[in-house]
Structure 1
């Protein structure tokens, strides 16, 4: 039997298994060597079979991880370029933002609404041990104020991590904060004044809208396209029309779309803002959570510290409750540090000491590889479940990283109504209109794929799908 026929027969058999659901979305396939051994074929034949299925979009190769079954293609959510570019700047006016904290504070819901990884995916025990050691070693320092800028060893660690993705940072420009949201809020407070215009992506994370609202700023929305983020040409068009003080962007795995802006577009975005004197505030919260395993560059890579302030946090990769984040201040370091000092004086010392201890004993990259693989698998499995069990016509964005899924419902289904029906069944999701200044995306919802896939999650997704079908009827 010829080599060609062997690989074609194997690919055809696996294709049918994927189509029938025997091999499910997100499932890891046997390694090439194991496939060759089990099927009694050569390694070259196994490679040809997998490459054929990859060309057909049925499976995907993940660096240093192996081959996985992909979710069904499904149409991505549609864009809305003209509507957003025609708008005038206006204050944050979405009343639904006032109620989102009530949902987030509930602990009785199946947490499809919470964009945080489950504790089982994080090094919880190791961090708890580091907290205990920090307290035993130096309780006086752990429970005292530290310098507003943060502990030097931690700032060095943050600078070293950025150096690994091509960004040379002086540890002296790193300012430790109580999470990324404090970093963003402090940067807005330093750079802007009430009434200034700030560009935000649409859709964007509702917390960024709340931060902008707190400063009394006006929002100018720019379309955020599934898979590729914002268009630099559209950004230049807005900058030429309006006196924009700052752009608050999430180029790496935007919440809710999970879009990744290309490196070429990032370079253009930085250049456009620099040419118009517009400050760039970068939310780099999800930058380490690339499903491919390759950490994309932050915007700061294409800036000399003059225009970009990059904000980040350990919340999504180590522990949300430690509340340790940072700002890379560049030339604004002194102003940002002054704002930080006048606001919260200093970030809590004990979590910083615990992280220093943790990094001295553990390889963060090893844990991140495991977390990325889990989230990538979850995204595929969740997405397939939505396509299988939700109404016909449902469109799901395919994220490149992070832990959120953006879902466009058929026009007859209202996202708020589905949110309320799911809440009544003990299931948390978020309605799409939370992710726009003017309450757009009435027929969208956002889900998190940060919970481990199990029968409870599968049942919850099926339940919400049935509720959506009922609303459609």
Structure 2
């Protein structure tokens, strides 16, 4: 408990210092291009520890206010031109079947094509992953646990991994025991199992709009209908529109990415999370919470999931390691209410029998040895720089009326183009030119957002990426 309390105090202190420094930068005490005092001098001036000064500078680097120059220090960056955020669409008139998802696989396949620059699929480049550490973990697991590695780890999964997941959720104030955790092959499989537990074919599911196209495909595969709820790029899903939808339609489940939604990158505030839970509780509608991006804030602490306020077993919590450690591990998890624990395990067994044992043991060992939190600090800083860099280039290269999201976390950018641009047609031309992106219509059950696109910022930034963005801007 002491570590947690002191951690919170330290976090508050460095964020407070970062805020004070940002005011000094705004007031031209430190003008654009100037170098901040070294961290030891800064710590002495501000009467804080050196570690607090370092964390404050890193925080400002993540905000795009400072840039770190090797062996030189921190310098004040030129503020980027701020574009307007994308507009909020109108609510759906009725639940509907999913359409227009035929091109998803084409985008995903481009990831494995070395001649195509991947700005489409939300798959981090290998440079963002702890490849060397994971390799060592695999070697040690295969050497020390060879008998287990050649067998099945039947549902609910490897006990040590269930324990590690439960411990991390406990740190987020969730009342979860290892027995509550089911290991799955992905967050998407977790969501699919949760929907099977809460719906029947023909039922209606309330979703954010825009939303991740993988969710739309799951809904379609289960014979469900989607009810699109307008989602603000700053505040998140419209609780007002959701209230009206729940009063008008029979909704069997609601799926929300509570932290850093895909594609908008918006984080629901704690107050809105609690209001969402209260609203769904009132109407007895289960919440399937996708928290796959929750560990990736671009600044500040890791936010709590809605699950942390759930006292009545309404929330089905889903996540995975795909966006942080390795998509290739194929390890996710689901925390379902106790009444559905055994059925969830049965559904996972029917789907794939079990999750690969070596992957489960490697992830458990990685979490147990304390590597994860240290790695996340570095990873979040890298993603923050990537998002700032992509935003600046889009602002410079794309038409002046282009609107750009301001993600609070994750590593994707949502771009709304002016005029009558059809990004589905644009994608075909871009692929021919060796550039992939995700057209906006894929993020809607009804083909909305035709003039929008999503860009992956977690790329190895080099001349190929620069040229890809130039090529894309010329095709507009």
For normalisation by structure 2, the TM-score amounts to 0.85
Counterpart mapping for 1:102-251 below 5 A: 102-106=106-110, 107-108=112-113, 109-251=116-258
SS in 2 for 1:84: coil
Counterpart mapping for 1:452-471 below 5 A: 452-468=460-476
Once the two structures are superposed, what CA deviation does each residue of 1:54-78 show, in whole Å capped at 9, x if it has no partner?
Answer: 9xx983799xx98874532111111
Q: Does the CA-based 8 Å contact 1:71-1:381 persist in structure 2?
A: no
Aligned to 2:403: 395
Counterpart mapping for 1:314-329 below 5 A: 314-329=321-336
Once structures 1 and 2 are overlaid, which stretch shifts more, 212-221 or 407-416?
407-416
SS in 2 for 1:385: helix
Q: Does the CA-based 8 Å contact 1:192-1:246 persist in structure 2?
A: yes
Aligned to 1:11: 28
Aligned residues: 432
Q: 1:100 aligns with which of 104, 113, 116?
A: 104
CA spacing shift, 1:125–1:99, aligned 2, 3 Å: same
1:338: how far off? 2.1
RMSD of Structure 2 on Structure 1 (CA): 2.7
SS in 2 for 1:90: coil
Q: Does the CA-based 8 Å contact 1:293-1:369 persist in structure 2?
A: no
SS in 2 for 1:201: strand
CA spacing shift, 1:143–1:376, aligned 2, 3 Å: same
1:30: how far off? 4.8
Q: 2:341 aligns with which of 329, 333, 336?
A: 333
Q: Does the CA-based 8 Å contact 2:30-2:36 persist in structure 1?
A: no
Counterpart mapping for 1:54-93 below 5 A: 59=65, 69=77, 71-80=80-89, 83-85=90-92, 87-92=93-98
Q: Distance in 2 between matches of 1:254 and 1:233?
A: 19
CA spacing shift, 1:43–1:151, aligned 2, 3 Å: closer
Q: Does the CA-based 8 Å contact 2:280-2:286 persist in structure 1?
A: yes
Q: Distance in 1 between matches of 2:91 and 2:190?
A: 27
Q: Does the CA-based 8 Å contact 2:36-2:76 persist in structure 1?
A: no
SS in 2 for 1:105: helix
Once structures 1 and 2 are overlaid, which stretch shifts more, 299-308 or 282-291?
299-308
1:359: how far off? 2.8
Aligned to 1:33: 38
Q: Distance in 2 between matches of 1:161 and 1:30?
A: 38
1:293: how far off? 3.7
SS in 1 for 2:214: helix
CA spacing shift, 1:228–1:10, aligned 2, 3 Å: closer
1:31: how far off? 4.8
Counterpart mapping for 1:287-302 below 5 A: 287-302=294-309
1:118: how far off? 1.4
Q: 1:272 aligns with which of 270, 279, 297?
A: 279
